[in-house]
Structure 1
Amino acid sequence: MRVIGLMSGTSHDAVDAAAADLTLEGDTLLLRPLGMVSDPYPEELRTALTAALPPARTTMREVCRLDTRIGQAFAAVAVRADRELCDGRADLVVSHGQTVYHWVERGRVHGTLQIGSPAWIAEATGCPVVSDLRTRDVAAGGQGAPLVSVVDLMWLRGRPGTPAALNLGGIANLTVAAGTGDPVAFDTGPANALVDAAVHALTDGRLDHDRDGVLAARGHVDAALLRRLLDEPYYAKPPPKTTGKELFHWPYLRAALAGRDRLPAEDVIATVTRLTARTVADAVRSVGASEVVASGGGTRNPTLMAMLRTALHDIPLRTSDALGLPSAAKESYAFAVLGFLTAHGLAGTVPACTGARRPSILGSLTPGHRGLRLPEPAAVSPVRLRTVPV
């Protein structure tokens, strides 16, 4: 089955599409990567999205407009991926959508909202679309994240020791294959969220991220600010736990800067970059991981990766490219796998990782032009994932 996975993370800078040819052989899922395409959000759309995100106020009119325009943006990238990567023969599109709110109170997730209407994708591609993947896990009592944990566990199975998969998006999340014990997965805290917020605010909107970690490399870590940020109660909470930009945003950082507002911009950016490295490394050590395999946009920031290597000390850090999944596309491939599982009637969650009462078949299905023709339900759920050459 040729599946296109669509993803726009908490950095909300672009829509990524990865295409995979997926085949189930016994208890092994074979993934043949077909490539990735990515298109940035139009500047006007990204500006409107940023203006509507918490802690800002918005209107139902604006939510409707964003749901439509983001759906159209996802549709355009899906059409391109089908044409360029699948020769126009994609069987299924899986859309994560754009997360705009993750409702967490007292450690419990009550709801989660990803927008980008799948009808636009189905209409543009003609393919059936799996969307709204997170809500079912929340309804089953889970955190709705990290959903990629089921894919990470299949992918890491068989590696020695206690391997951990790390995604460095807007928020950092970790999946740990705990040998003979239960696996664990959770959001460790911010990855790029506070770095991006600091860069945007402190450059008066001229820049939206620290390209190549240049600004952080010029700065010095402010010990007092770092201590203040590390006092955040979220870090001490036990997993499973999730967070988002509802907590880690510019007003949050601005409040932490009270009394230290004369710090040079580069020092602030260096400090929040170190915060990411420190909180990730603390989380890795807390679960006894023996190696870290990283992916996501943060892997393209050499300053962050250098700080993380230092913080991890003797725990090896490599990127997912070394294991056959391009780090920039790994999360899109993971959602392609989740949609494949849904299409075959298979659960896409691990209760030990999300805290749900039971495994769930994820998502809602929007039919394509040919109606909804799903494959026969699979008799066996895959327990390992193997990438195969193109």
Structure 2
Amino acid sequence: MSELYIGLMSGTSLDGIDGVLADFSGARMQVRQHASAAFAPALRAELLALNSPGDNELHRAALAGNALSRAYARLVHALLARSGHSASAIGAIGAHGQTVRHRPQAFDGTGYTLQLGNPALLAELTGIAVVADWRSRDLAAGGQGAPLVPAFHQSIFGRAAETVLVLNIGGIANLSVLAPDGTVLGFDCGPGNALLDHWCQQHRGQPFDRDGAWAAAGQVLPDLLAALLQEPFLQQPPPKSTGRDLFNPAWLAARLRDFGPAAAVDVQATLTEFTVSACIAGTRDHQGNGAMLAVCGGGARNTYLMQRLQAASPALRVVATDTLGLPALQVEAAAFAWLARQTLCGAPGNLPGVTGAAGPRVLGAVYPR
């Protein structure tokens, strides 16, 4: 079986697709190629709209899934062209799809999670087996279906001499706690970039706050921050996961209505501090022994956010995962390459202690080449 796998990730930030070609033939996974592509504006707008109830959702979701799979296929072909490998050399593609609903254990005790995409079309367009639909088996086993990356984090970043905290800041932030004895904890902390990006788009016409410069120019509003931090999700014990179902523009608008008028730049500064506070709260029980906080995802490229994380947690060494050998923007895509390999090897992809599932499960559905 080939030890070359492609991982594709388009996260809740909706900023585009990241893809890696990963090689598992050695003692440690190596990323041989990385590529990224922004979403076409119409596709991004439709994916964002489908996070909320609307007219003709089934039809629109199906077509958006097709469009997403075509975008995935273009990125796969770019990775193959850059690497010089043929499709037949790749063991499988791990494709997460685009999450538009995540309601684990809600309504009937099982709940549901929905990632748009058409893995059959992706297999047809690339000539490579595709592994997709990662979360549903964990949900069926009583779990949250998320986060799924802590097992991968342990395989790549775990250290015998110290605790490593891996903080992924995408649209939503999630934390993995990798103890020296091999114990792994993990959960969603709360919002990452989703509210920051929304506010910046609304008031600056820009998709994100580059380097956090706009937030850095504002003043944190203590009363608003305190109100945001009252969100019950933040007080829930793990296992827990969330998404745009909770942290969305309507959620923010409701809290701003209760707060009253405020300068847009000060709201941006406060939202940044909200993300920092939610993330650091999750680390408080795990900061001993000079623990490292390794940040990945788009948040690792927000200079001001990284500075605030360090200031809020002086006991931690805050670094980007680049310093551990895997660039911050490659981590999640690499995780889905790893998960695809786990599936084809018949090995579990979840950690019951993280998701709350009844036991380890082989995740994903396979669409042969």
TM-score, normalised to structure 1, is 0.89
Which whole-Å CA distance do the structure 1 matches of 2:336 and 2:121 have between them?
A: 19
The amino acid across from 1:44 in the alignment is A
What is the letter of the counterpart of residue 92 of structure 2? L
Deviation of 1:138 (Å): 1.1
For 1:209-288, list aligned pairs within 5 A.
209-288=208-287
Counterpart position of 1:380: none
Count of residues paired in the alignment:
362
Q: Which residue of 1 aligns with 2:176?
A: 175
How far the C-alpha of 1:126 sits from its partner, in A, is 0.6
Between the aligned partners of 2:106 and 2:17, the Cα distance in structure 1 is 32
1:333 positional shift: 0.7
Structure 1 pair 182–87 and aligned structure 2 pair: CA distance change class (3 A): closer
**Aligned equivalents of 1:210, 1:126: Cα separation in 2:** 38
Q: How does 1:42-57 map to 2 (within 5 A)?
A: 42-54=40-52
The AA in structure 1 aligned to 2:311 is: T
Return the structure number with greater helix share: 2
- Is the CA contact 1:118–1:131 (under 8 Å) kept in the aligned structure 2? yes
Provide the C-alpha distance between the structure 1 equivalents of 2:278 and 2:328, rounded to a whole number of angstroms: 21
Match of residue 4, structure 2, among 2, 5, 23:
2
Bigger mean CA offset, 278-287 vs 219-228:
278-287
Structure 1 residues 104 and 141, CA, compared in 2 at 3 Å: closer, same or farther? closer
Aligned to 2:30: 32
* Matching residue's letter, 2:73: A
Amino acid at match of 1:7: M
Amino acid at match of 1:83: A
The equivalent residue for 1:383 is: none
Q: Distance in 2 between matches of 1:86 and 1:245?
A: 38
* 1: CA distance, partners of 2:83 / 2:349: 25
2:193 alignment counterpart: 192
Q: TM-score by structure 2 length?
A: 0.93
Q: 1:18 aligns with which of 8, 17, 20?
A: 20
- Partner SS state of residue 313, structure 1: coil
1:136-155 matched pairs, under 5 angstroms: 136-155=137-156
- Return the letter of the residue paired with 2:60: E
Q: Which residues of structure 2 form unaligned runs of 5+?
A: none
In structure 2, do the counterparts of structure 1 residues 280 and 63 end up closer, same or farther at CA, with 3 Å as the change threshold?
same
Counterparts of 1:19 and 1:153 in 2: how far apart (Å)?
A: 20
> What is the alpha-carbon distance in structure 2 between the residues aligned to residue 333 and residue 180 of structure 1?
24
Which amino acid letter does the alignment assign opposite residue 294 of structure 2?
A: V
**In the aligned structure 2, how far is the partner of 1:43 from the partner of 1:213?**
23
Instruction: Kindly state the Cα deviation for residue 23 of structure 1 after the two structures are TM-superposed.
Output: 2.2
Deviation (angstroms), 1:54: 2.2
Measured after TM superposition, the shift of residue 346 of structure 1 is: 1.0
Question: Offset of 1:69 from its aligned partner?
Answer: 1.1
Equivalent positions of 1:340-351 (< 5 A) are 340-351=341-352
Q: Please point out which of 58, 68, 71 is paired with 2:69.
A: 71
Q: Shift of the alpha carbon at 1:56? A: 5.2
Shift of 1:200: 2.1
Structure 1 CA distance for aligned equivalents of residues 261 and 310 of structure 2: 30
Answer whether contact 1:2 1:86 (CA < 8 A) is retained.
Answer: no
Give secondary structure in 1 for the equivalent of 2:211: helix
1:321 and 2:319 matched: no
CA distance in 1, matches of 2:118, 2:231: 35
Identify the residue that residue 161 of structure 2 maps to in structure 1.
Answer: 160
Contact 1:296 1:331 in 2 (8 A): yes
Query: Which amino acid in the other structure matches residue 303 of structure 1?
Result: Y
How far apart in 2 are the matches of 1:252 and 1:17?
31
Kindly indicate whether the alpha-carbon contact (under 8 Å) linking 1:71 and 1:115 is maintained by their aligned counterparts in 2: no
Residue 93 (1) aligns with residue 93 (2): yes
Q: Is the 8 A contact 2:157 2:324 kept in 1?
A: no
SS of aligned partner of 2:62: helix
- In the alignment, is the contact (CA less than 8 A) between 2:62 and 2:116 conserved in 1? no
Match of 1:62 in 2: 60
CA contact (8 A) 1:19 1:86 kept: no
1:52 CA displacement? 1.8
Quote how far apart the aligned CAs of 1:288 are.
4.1
Q: Distance in 2 between matches of 1:56 and 1:275?
A: 29
Please tell me whether the aligned partners of residues 102 and 109 of structure 1 are also in contact (alpha carbons under 8 angstroms).
no
Please name the residue that 2:313 is paired with: 312
CA distance in 2, matches of 1:170, 1:273: 13
Displacement of 1:295 in angstroms is 0.5
Q: Distance in 2 between matches of 1:101 and 1:82?
A: 32
CA-CA distance at 1:87 after TM superposition: 2.5
- The verdict on how the C-alpha distance between 1:8 and 1:309 changes in structure 2, with shifts beyond 3 A counting, is same
- 1:36–1:85 Cα contact (<8 Å) kept: no
Amino acid in the other structure paired with 2:233: Y
- Whole-angstrom CA distance in 2 between matches of 1:159 and 1:216: 38
The structural deviation recorded for 1:161 is 2.5
Question: Any conservation in 2 of the 1:9–1:99 contact (CA below 8 Å)?
Answer: yes
Residues 33 and 110 of structure 1, relative CA distance in 2, 3 Å threshold: same
